[in-house]
Amino acid sequence: MTEPIGEKGYAGDVTPEQAAQWLASGEAVLVDVRTDAEREWVGYVPGAVPLAWKQWPGMALNPAFDEGVRAAGEGGKKLVLLCRSGVRSISAAKRATELGLEAYNILEGFEGNPDESGHRGQIGGWRKRGLPWKQN
């Protein structure tokens, strides 16, 4: 379920499964806002637009983000934004919304929250839910 833009500053939060359905139907474009290193080492979603919100090292905002997200949103499709755990993608969705795009945060991100041992990938997330992904 999505909430009005005024409540959060972006179109809303969607489950990984809802985002995957929108992708499969052609309603949305997935923008992966993780760093290049995260996508390279941890895995990526085939067909996603790779566009870091923050850049490694130092995690400075990506100066090319605005241009890249505008390009991803050309044609008026919904944007579903993915990061590691669903935190950076909220900030990125807010910025995309400020730029006039319909942007959603994907809950749980790619890896989900850490478990009791501090390990990601065991509780929620795109990958854990068995949605399409690859690893180099």
**For position 2, what pLDDT does the model report?**
47
- What pLDDT score does 6 carry? 57
Long-range contacts of 94-101 (CB under 8 A, 24+ apart): 94/8, 94/9, 94/10, 95/53, 95/65, 95/66, 95/69, 96/10, 96/31, 96/69, 97/5, 97/9, 97/10, 97/11, 98/9, 99/66, 99/69, 99/70, 99/73, 101/69, 101/70, 101/73
pLDDT by residue, tens only, the chain of 136 residues: 444 555 789 999 999 999 999 999 999 999 999 999 999 999 999 999 999 999 877 888 999 999 999 999 999 999 999 999 988 999 999 999 999 999 999 999 999 888 888 888 888 899 999 999 999 8
